[in-house]
Structure formats: structure tokens, C-alpha cells
Amino acid sequence: MMQTIFALATARGKAGVAIIRVSGPEARAIGEVLCGSVPTAGSHSLRAVRGEGGTTLDQALVLWFEGPNSFTGEDVLELHLHGSVAVVRAVEARIAATGLAREAEPGEFTKRALLNDRLDLAQVEGLGDLIEAETEAQREQAQRVFTGALSEKMAHLRELGIRAAALLTATIDFADEEVPVDVLPEVRDLLTEAMVELEQEIEGSHVAERVRDGFEVAILGAPNAGKSTLINTLAGREIAITSDIAGTTRDVLEVRLDIAGLPVTVLDTAGLRDSEDAIEVIGVSRAVERALAADLRVLLKTDDFELPTALEQNIDLVYGAKADLTGNGGISGLTGEGVDQFVADVARILSERVSKVRTAISSRQRQGMQRALVAFGHVISSVETEIAAEHVQDGLHALDSVIGHVDVEAILGEIFSRFCIGK
Amino acid sequence: MKHPDFDVVIVGGGHAGVEAADAARRTGARTALVTLRREDLGVMSCNPAIGGLGKGHLVREIDALGGIMGRAADASGIQYRLLNRRKGAAVQGPRTQSDRALYAAAIRNHVAEADGLTLIEAEVADLIVRDNRACGVVLADGSEVPANAVVLTTGTFLRGIIHIGDRKIEGGRMGDRPSVALANRMENLGLPLGRLKTGTPPRLAGKSINWDILQEQQADEDPTFFSFLTTKVHARQIACGITHTNAHTHDIIQKNLGRSAMYGGMIGGIGPRYCPSIEDKVVRFADKDSHQIFLEPEGLTTDVVYPNGISTSLPEDVQHDYVHSIVGLERAEILQPGYAIEYDFVDPTSLSDQLELRVLGGLHLAGQINGTTGYEEAAAQGLVAGLSAARQSLGLDPVTFSRRESYIGVMIDDLVTRGVAEPYRMFTSRAEYRLSLRADNADARLTPIGLSLGIIDDTRKQVFEAKMERLEKGRALLNSVTATPKEAQAVGITVNSDGKRRTGMELLAFPDLDIADLARISPEVSGLDCETASQLKIEATYATYVARQQKDAEALNRDEAKQIPQDFPYGEVVGLSNELRGKLTRVRPSTLGQAGRIDGMTPAALALILTKLRQLDRISA
């Protein structure tokens, strides 16, 4: 029998409300011990939560969900308590004392939702991201996956693959029936459609990973071009979304910002200049490497400055440095001149990239899609029908690995609904 | 009257029954075959043809294991056609139309001459059940036939009802009576039963058909036989006629749908989607105004013609009208009306891998009673059931056929793990290892297994070993012949100039290359005989795919090797949904791999079962 589990669902510490969730077959019994009874399924009511001697621990809003119509698919009790550390601790101890439930392991509620088919694997990934989301774009992206957009997309691609498999199978297994002789053009059309979507998904998934993990913007320029000043200004003006990165107080090396809802890490790099000093040469080549790995490279240009050749073709934005001194426009971290323009430019370029995000968000999902893409490509180049059919199967299995399960019955079902089989 | 004791008794003399009886006696069991009449042996109750796609593979496999069907088909073949001749070898299916009389005679003669097989002409009234084991049968005259194991191959006898329009006749086949007591016994076992239906077309008099205006379909010029032992055609080859239904035919059917047993609501069973009645075709594919019909003569010495494609349960007068609306059949005489039959089948998930009922030890089921359709499917199950019953009776280890090595294994596994929703028929697409499970290599795959089971006679053993030796020599020769791209190009073979030295087998994998081309590199190659050469060409063609499947299969094999005990406590597996728990408890998969094929199974659920298995291992260790 499944054990009943409980855990604090909200963050620990002082807060307005704290929610303790209980899931499993004993959830009702626990509700009855603590609150006398549970509300009718799907509703809530205010109850006193009582301690062992009948003392009142708190007044709680009690919610009752009856399996399978709950997050985990099991019976679920929710106690909305006052967000006091002491209240939470007392109620947790009371639940544990009933001996009917144990404390949940991290992620165990979600795991049960997965096991009870309330969520599929992609949705679980989406949920994980949703909980981690710090910016608006991250929330939107995770929400899409969590609400099943990826599952729907996969279902659509699978349908295309199954139809292609059905056509090929029809010409193989029903060769003596009245089925179309040359199905390859239609197979090719179906799979080309799938491949185009797969390619877009794969491309988008790279960007999606950035949305999740953060874009990197490298600021480049000669020593003393004002890079650090700019970053300090940004840290002060924009919403710095983390403060626990080393050195964030005064001499900022990188700062994590929310720009137009996107998580962006702005990197300071070592000043770029030719040098005889062996140590400085190493520093410069590291800066170049780091800059190349970033998503955007911004150059603060000074007159006498020459870019290292490795970067020449890779600069995305250029501004004149130290606008306060030159008076020629550009950026000055000191006066704030041009900083708004800089933020707007970064937002514009990154937003454009984000528009390519489709539904896939993880490298695991991307790998499945890549395998499917390769397999469908093989189908189109296959000469023999049975070999083509083999590759379609491979492709379908790859799509399955992203989401679900295909079998021969699905293919036969498609054939029988489309062709009149049986002479 | 007291019958002698047998090791195995087989009930029913259809395709499943005779194959079961022959497999049992070849295993060394004293075997009795009980059938109503000697003349019922090897009767083809429906289409007079053997083989086809997937089905032809099954017949080859039966033959590779020493069974009868392939030889009987070759003794009676009157129109050999290799289906998918223009496609790859993996999906080619041998098929023939058979002369009904010759086929039945071949089967009768085989049974009559078989050592260790006793034919009893009688009606089986009941089973003998002791200590919850089937140990023989009771005949209608009250006498008993004791045996250690029983194989039931009784086709459609469970509540079988024939429908012609609104006329109903109780019985399994036209003219047969159902065995009520046995049916009651089966029903009282409390087995999960389902209801299926199937139909046949009206039979026509050949002399009343206007053949002159009809298109013909000829037999293959170089026939592909079923049996690995057959070397020549036994019967004269004939052609079939082809005609089509038309808008007028469809009109007649449309107007009378209410009088069709299937559409008038008189039949509740589920019919096969791949073999729909003409009513079904007209309704479901309303946009098509014509359907093809093959006019297949039922033999060389009979005038009966089987119009393949117009099975029906319409009343006789409507059958007359629509048949006469078809070109060439304007004056066709109907010798026997078409009819539909509905019957109960036993949910095959209640069977073990050996086709033994889990609730009643010693009782094996094979054929239509398990929800399948087709002579070939029945015969293949008969072979498995007969073999298993015999081995059980003789105290030998059970045999399991795996999906990796045979279509037989695919079918048994499909039946016992997934059950059936419509009459089950074999297709090549059911076999995930299709590229390695070919009709051409059925002997290489299965005859060695047959030899180890002791069910292969000396003649077949010699033929097989000689063939394998020729192949092995040929393979060695082609692996020893090598050529660089330059050398290959020099004799006119186009390969990439990648500097890679290729063996003869590797070169042979190129689609447009054959043995004759290789002979230009090494003259020795031209010494290979035709059969060996073409077999090696097929091997070479699929080599890379087979190797990859092998790898997949090895990964899968870990699951297949992970045994699940029959008393596995699914109730204790935490986190399993009630639906899956119910299915698993019913099917009782014997391996983790089999569990994975149960409909609706999720990877998460498999992981839970595996975890529990490990827990159990730890406890017992």
C-alpha cells in the first residue's frame, strides 16, 4: 500500500500563510484526527486544528481533494495555516505523532503525480522550471510546458509519423489489397512537415535553455574604457535578481539582471590589450574565450583600441566609451548617458531570439527530437519500403522518449480507418 | 468401452488440432486425436488458400519445426504467388491457392501414416478433471480417454451461431453441431470470454460464371514453395478471375442493410477490420463506388468458386440480387449462401506462454478459441500447444518461443500479454524484428531449435545440415574475397572512393550488386549455387540493420531475462495505478519485457515493478 506523506508546501519562515499538504490513503484519517472532519471534496472550510490534548494549535483553512481528482492523484488534504514558524512546527509534529504519515522526500508529491499519470515527464520538467522561474519569460516558458504544450506538439508529430508508418505498412502488409501503390510522395510530405517542426523545436530549445539558465552579455573594451563603471551602474539601476554572486558589493565582475523579463548575466572581462606580460596574455585570451561563449558581445570603443582578431567578426553591439569625456555620444556609466539605449538594445536582440522558442526546453527533449529528425531523414532517402518503415519506427521511438508510447495497434488502426482492406 | 491411456489427447481435427497432434507425437508422446469424422481433418472452412504476408512466414516456421502445413500446402498448391515480389525479402510472403480436396487428402494421409498417433472418431462430451487438472476427455458414448494433458482446438464451438439474414443456426460451421456439455464445462471454469464474428461469401458454380469477359490473375512462373523439403510443383497451376462491385451493387446492399444480420443488430460480436463484409465496405467507404473481387476456383476437380471480397450476412434473396449485379456474375448460381458466424473465445491473457490455461492445469488451448483467425495462426498455435502438452506430459522442460526468433513467438506473446480486441491475424508489422525474421531463413532460425527438442526427422535434418554447410562455405568465401574501391571500379562496380577495403559480403549489400558482379573480382564466386547465392545476397542486404536490431534486442533482453514470479504481489507494489494493477494481475507476465508490452504500461510502472523485484531478491537472498 502507498504510504501517506506530508510536507510544508510553502517556504519555511515567517509569512502570511503556510500550507501543509498531506497526500495518500490516510489523508482523510489525519484530517479527522486534527480537525474533526474534512470538508466535502473540492471545497474548503475553516476549522480549528487541535493538538494532542485537544488544545487549539491554529485556525486553518482546510481544503479536501479526493483522488484521483487531485495534484498527486491520491486523496489530498491541505491545511492553510498562519505563517508562523511555531505553528508550522507544532502542526507538523502533530501529524507525525498520528503515526499515519511520514515526511515527504523532496519532489515526492510530483513523483506521485507522475506515477499516477496526472503529469507526463515533460510536464514534470515544466513544473520544475516553473517553480525555479524568477523572470516573466521563464514563467511563461515553464508554464507552456507544464500545461502540456510540448506533449501536444509531440502528439502531433507522432500522428504524422504514425500516418507515414501506416502508409508504408499498408503497401507492405496489404500488398494484395486495393491500397495506393506509390505512397512515397505522401510519406515524404508528412515527414518533411514533421522535420521542419523538429528543426524549429531543436533551434528553439537552445534558446529556451538560455531563458531558463540566463543569457550572458560580455562587455568588452580596452582597460579603463568604463566597463566596470557601466556594470556597477546597471547593478544599481536595473533589477539585480541575485545578490549572492561573489563580489557583488563593490567591484562587480558579473551581475544578474532582469531585462525585459529575461534573465541576463552581464560579464565584465579583463581589459583587452596587447601585452608582453605572460600572465596578462593568459588573462586576455581567457577573456576572449569567455566572450565568445557569451550570447552577446558588446564593445565599448575607444579611439586607439584594436580588437583581438578572434573577436572581429563577433561583436553584436558597439558604443563609444566614456561619453561624458568625449562628448561624442555613446555610453557613460558615470553620467548614465546611453545606458537606457544599451538596455533597450540588449532587450531587443534577446527578445528576437526568444521568439524562436517553441515548446522544447531541455537538452533531454532536444536529444530525442534530434534522433527523430535523423531517422525521418533516413526514411526519405530509403529505397526499400521495409527499410523506410524501419526508420519511421526508429523516429517514433525517439519521439516516444520525449513523451509517451507508440505501438503497432496505433498504426494498424490508422490503416483500417483510411483504406478499405479486405478483398 | 475403455480406451488405452495416452500422454496427450487433442480435441478437434482442424488446422490447430492436426498440427498439435503431430507435434505431440513427434515429441514422443502417445497421442490421441479426437474428431467427429475422419473427413473433417484438414478441412478449409473459408478461403481455399494458404499463406500470405505474415501468414506465409508462419507456415515456413511451422515447416522449419517439422510441422505438416507447409507440405500439405505444397501438395495442393494450384496458384503460387509470392506477395511483395518486388519488395525486399523480409516482407515477401509466400501464398498459394489450394485444391481443397488435395489439401485435406494430404493431411488425412499424413495422420494415417504417423507413428504414435491414434485417431478416434467421436464427439467429445466433456473433460475429465481431477485435482483441478485436466486429465483426459469423456466421449459422447460415455467412454473415457485418459491422458496426462489435453489440447482443445475446437474453433468456434463456444456458443457459435450462424446468421444468414434473419435466419439463425446454432453450430460452429455449416453442418456441424455444437458440443453443449463441453461448452458448459468451459463456461463453468469462469474464464473471461469475449465474442467475435466473422463471415464468408456465397459460393458460386464455376460453369455459371462468364469467365471470357473477366480479367485473369496468373500464378507465378517460378513458384516459391512453403516447405523447405519441397522441390517441385505437385498440381496443375490455374488462374483466378477478377471482377468488381459497382454502384448498382452498392445500391442493393445499401437498401437492404436493415436485413443484414450484422447491421440489423442481430450480431453483437466484433469482426475483423481487415476482412470486412461487403456491407461494411459499402457503409464505411461510401465514397468508393467499386470494390475488387477475386474469383478463386476451389480446386482442380470441383466447380465451386470462392468469390473473395464479398463476405456477407444478408438474406439469400439479397445475395442473389447483388451477386447478379456484378460483371461476369450476371447468371452466377449460388451453391451455398454466404453467412456470418459469431462465437465466444477465451481471453488469451488467461493462458501461459505454453498456451496452457492458468486456472486448469493440463488444459491447453489453440486456434480460433483463443480469438485468432486464419488457418496458419491456428496451425502455429497447435504446434506450440501440442509440443507443450507433450513435454509437460513427459516431464520435460517447457519451451517458450521468443519474439526475437520467430513470428510464432510474436503471436503467442501478443495473445497472452495483450489479448485480442478483434480476430487476431498475423501481419509482418507485428514483428519488430521483421528484417531478421524472414520467410527465407525460417529454417536457419528454427530447425536447430526443433533438433534440440527432438522433433525433426532424419530426412529434414540432412537437408537442413547440407544447406547450412553450403551457406557457411559461401559466407566464408565471400568474406575472404576483398576489394579496394579502385579494384572494384576496375571491374565496373560503383563504390565510393573512400579507400576502404570491402569484403564480398559488404559489397553484396549494395542494392544493385549481385553475385555475378562479384565473380568479376574473384572467379571462384561463380561456383556458388543459385540458392546459396541468393540467400547470401539477402543476408548481406539486411546485415547492418540486423546488427543494429541485435543491439536493441540485447538491451531488451535484459528485460526479457528478468523473470517475474507467477505469484508476484502486484498488490504490494506501491504507486501502481489500480487499472495497471488489475491488468498485471490478470495477465501475470512471465518477464519484465512481457510486462512492458501490456497495453497502457508506463515506464514509471515498470520501474516500480523492477524495484519490488529487487526487494524480493534481497529478502530471499
Q: Which whole number is the average pLDDT over B382-400?
A: 97
Q: Which whole number is the average pLDDT over A50-68?
A: 90
Instruction: Please provide residue B165's backbone torsions phi and psi, each rounded to the nearest 5 degrees.
Output: 60, -125
Highest mean pLDDT pick, A261-265, B107-111, B308-312: B107-111
Residues ≥6 apart with Cβ < 8 Å to A270: A280, A283, A284, A286, A287
Instruction: Please give the single-letter amino acid code of residue B239.
Output: A
Q: Tell me if B443 sits within 8 A of B65, measured CB to CB.
A: no
CA distances from B335 to A133, B201, B207, B210, B214 (A): 77, 11, 12, 16, 21
Here the CATH number for the domain that contains residue B568 is: 1.10.150.570
The residue segments making up the domain with residue A15 are 4-109
B329 shares a domain with B281: yes
Strands (E), B272-378: 292-297, 304-308, 334-336, 339-346, 363-365
| Within-domain flag for A363 | no
pLDDT of residue A79 exceeding 70: yes
- Whether B510 and chain A come into contact, CB under 8 Å, resolves to no
Last residue of a domain, one of A295, A313, A347: A347
Q: Which whole number is the average pLDDT over A70-82?
A: 92
A223 shares a domain with A102: no
| Within-domain flag for B460 | no
| Within-domain flag for B446 | no
The percentage of residues in chain B with a pLDDT greater than 90, rounded to a whole number, is: 65
Q: Tell me if B206 sits within 8 A of B328, measured CB to CB.
A: no
| Within-domain flag for B165 | yes
Query: Is the pLDDT higher at A260 or at A251?
Result: A260
Low-confidence winner among A33-47, A317-331, B22-36, B342-356 (lowest mean pLDDT): A317-331
Burial degree of A259 (CB within 10 A; 0-12, 13-18, 19+): buried
The predicted pLDDT at position A160 comes to: 94
| Within-domain flag for B441 | no
| Within-domain flag for A172 | no
Total domains in the fold of chain A: 2
Highest mean pLDDT pick, A271-280, A349-358, B23-32, B133-142: B23-32
pLDDT of residue A142 exceeding 90: no
The predicted pLDDT at position B351 comes to: 96
| Residues of chain A contacting B574 with CB distance shorter than 8 Å | 1-3
B148 shares a domain with B39: yes
CA distances from A63 to A37, A47, A66, A172, A296 (A): 11, 10, 10, 57, 48
Residues in chain B, overall count: 621
pLDDT band at A423 (very low <50, low <70, confident <90, very high): very low
Pairwise CA distance, residues A158 & A290, whole Å: 40
| Within-domain flag for B459 | no
Mean pLDDT of chain B: 90
Low-confidence winner among B176-190, B226-240, B426-440 (lowest mean pLDDT): B176-190
Instruction: Please give the single-letter amino acid code of residue B444.
Output: A
Contact: A420, B281; criterion CB under 8 Å: yes
B191 shares a domain with B110: yes
For residue A269, which of A290, A251, A250 has the smallest C-alpha distance?
A: A290
B600 shares a domain with B542: no
B606 shares a domain with B530: no
The predicted pLDDT at position A224 comes to: 78
CA distances from A271 to A81, A143, A287, A351, B471 (A): 54, 41, 8, 28, 73
> Best interface-test mutation with B: which of A173, A382, A408, A417 has the largest number of B CBs within 10 A?
A173
| Within-domain flag for B518 | yes
B542 shares a domain with B590: no
pLDDT of residue B434 exceeding 80: yes
**Burial per residue of B407-438, b for 16 or more beta-carbon CB atoms within 10 angstroms, e otherwise:** bbbbbbbbbbbbbbebbbbbbbbbbbbbbbbb
Q: Among A173, A393, A423, whose Cβ lies nearest the Cβ of B308?
A: A423
The predicted pLDDT at position A323 comes to: 79
Q: Residue B217's beta-bridge partner residues?
A: B240
The predicted pLDDT at position B207 comes to: 96
The predicted pLDDT at position B43 comes to: 92
- Whether A176 and chain B come into contact, CB under 8 Å, resolves to yes
pLDDT of residue B167 exceeding 60: yes
pLDDT of residue B552 exceeding 50: yes
Query: Is the pLDDT higher at B438 or at A293?
Result: B438
pLDDT of residue B299 exceeding 90: yes
pLDDT in tens, A214-230: 899 988 888 778 887 88
Cell of B333: 448460381
Query: Is the pLDDT higher at A28 or at A12?
Result: A28
For residue B137, which of B126, B151, B153, B148 has the smallest C-alpha distance?
A: B126
For residue B591, which of B615, B618, B556 has the smallest C-alpha distance?
A: B556
Give the position of cell 561456383.
Answer: B527
Q: Tell me if B386 sits within 8 A of B367, measured CB to CB.
A: no
Highest mean pLDDT pick, A266-275, A345-354, B92-101: B92-101
Q: Which of residues 68-107 of B touch A (CB under 8 A)?
A: 83-84, 87-88, 90-91, 95
> Best interface-test mutation with A: which of B429, B544, B576 has the largest number of A CBs within 10 A?
B429
- Whether B206 and chain A come into contact, CB under 8 Å, resolves to no
The predicted pLDDT at position A312 comes to: 81
The predicted pLDDT at position A133 comes to: 75
For residue B156, which of B423, B425, B388 has the smallest C-alpha distance?
A: B423
B147 shares a domain with B80: yes
Q: Which of residues 430-489 of B touch A (CB under 8 A)?
A: 430, 432, 434-435
Pairing verdict, β B144-152 and B6-11: parallel
Here the CATH number for the domain that contains residue B542 is: 1.10.10.1800
| Within-domain flag for A39 | yes
Q: Roughly how many angstroms between the first and final C-alpha of chain A, as a whole number? A: 53
Q: Residue A266's beta-bridge partner residues?
A: A217, A255
pLDDT band at B274 (very low <50, low <70, confident <90, very high): confident
pLDDT band at A151 (very low <50, low <70, confident <90, very high): confident
Last residue of a domain, one of B531, B559, B587: B559
For residue B19, which of B55, B71, B57, B85 has the smallest C-alpha distance?
A: B71
pLDDT band at A246 (very low <50, low <70, confident <90, very high): very low
Q: Tell me if A260 sits within 8 A of A238, measured CB to CB.
A: no
Query: Is the pLDDT higher at A73 or at B556?
Result: A73
| Within-domain flag for A34 | yes
Here the CATH number for the domain that contains residue A12 is: 3.30.1360.120
| Within-domain flag for B461 | no
pLDDT band at B104 (very low <50, low <70, confident <90, very high): very high
The predicted pLDDT at position A175 comes to: 80
Last residue of a domain, one of A44, A79, A109: A109
B397 shares a domain with B317: no
Pairwise CA distance, residues B190 & A313, whole Å: 79
B553 shares a domain with B574: no
For residue B367, which of B156, B117, B563 has the smallest C-alpha distance?
A: B156
| Within-domain flag for A291 | yes
Low-confidence winner among B281-285, B305-309, B326-330 (lowest mean pLDDT): B281-285
Pairwise CA distance, residues A378 & B544, whole Å: 14
Low-confidence winner among A164-173, A266-275, B10-19 (lowest mean pLDDT): A266-275
Q: Which whole number is the average pLDDT over B107-123?
A: 95
Last residue of a domain, one of B291, B315, B342: B342
pLDDT of residue A251 exceeding 60: no
The predicted pLDDT at position B287 comes to: 85
CA distances from A269 to A249, A259, A310, A321 (A): 17, 20, 15, 15
Q: Which whole number is the average pLDDT over B173-193?
A: 73
Q: Which whole number is the average pLDDT over B488-505?
A: 88
Here the CATH number for the domain that contains residue A281 is: 3.40.50.300
The predicted pLDDT at position A314 comes to: 86
Residues ≥6 apart with Cβ < 8 Å to B338: B164, B199, B200, B201, B202, B310, B311, B312, B313, B314, B319
pLDDT band at A243 (very low <50, low <70, confident <90, very high): very low
pLDDT of residue A192 exceeding 60: yes
Instruction: Please give the single-letter amino acid code of residue A312.
Output: E
Query: Is the pLDDT higher at A99 or at A414?
Result: A99
Pairwise CA distance, residues B489 & B492, whole Å: 5
| Within-domain flag for A54 | yes
The residue segments making up the domain with residue B542 are 468-559
| Within-domain flag for A376 | no
pLDDT of residue B547 exceeding 80: yes
Q: Which whole number is the average pLDDT over B288-301?
A: 93
pLDDT of residue B298 exceeding 90: yes
B351 shares a domain with B338: no
Last residue of a domain, one of B312, B342, B372: B342
Q: Tell me if B154 sits within 8 A of B179, measured CB to CB.
A: yes
Pairwise CA distance, residues B243 & B211, whole Å: 10
Cell of A36: 474533526
pLDDT of residue B559 exceeding 60: yes
The predicted pLDDT at position A419 comes to: 53
Strand B240-244: give its sheet, edge to edge.
B215-217, B240-244, B292-297, B304-308, B203-205, B334-336
pLDDT band at B172 (very low <50, low <70, confident <90, very high): low
Residues in chain A, overall count: 423
The secondary element (H helix, E strand) that includes residue A32 is: helix A27-35
Q: Tell me if A22 sits within 8 A of A101, measured CB to CB.
A: yes
Give the position of cell 546597471.
Answer: A234
Mean pLDDT of chain A: 82
Q: Which whole number is the average pLDDT over A313-333?
A: 83
The predicted pLDDT at position A248 comes to: 36
For residue A363, which of A205, A149, A148 has the smallest C-alpha distance?
A: A205
pLDDT in tens, A259-308: 888 889 888 876 666 667 777 777 777 778 888 888 999 988 888 777 88
- Whether A117 and chain B come into contact, CB under 8 Å, resolves to yes
Here the CATH number for the domain that contains residue B181 is: 3.50.50.60
B350 shares a domain with B303: no
- Whether B293 and chain A come into contact, CB under 8 Å, resolves to yes
Burial degree of B244 (CB within 10 A; 0-12, 13-18, 19+): middle
> Best interface-test mutation with B: which of A115, A151, A396 has the largest number of B CBs within 10 A?
A115
Pairwise CA distance, residues A389 & A342, whole Å: 53
In sign, the C-alpha dihedral spanning A306, A312, A314, A316 is positive
| Within-domain flag for A275 | yes
pLDDT band at A360 (very low <50, low <70, confident <90, very high): confident
Q: What is the DSSP letter of B356?
A: B
B308 shares a domain with B352: no
Last residue of a domain, one of A347, A376, A408: A347
Q: Which whole number is the average pLDDT over A6-18?
A: 86
| Residues of chain B contacting A73 with CB distance shorter than 8 Å | 577
Total domains in the fold of chain B: 4
| Within-domain flag for B268 | yes
Pairwise CA distance, residues A314 & B130, whole Å: 86
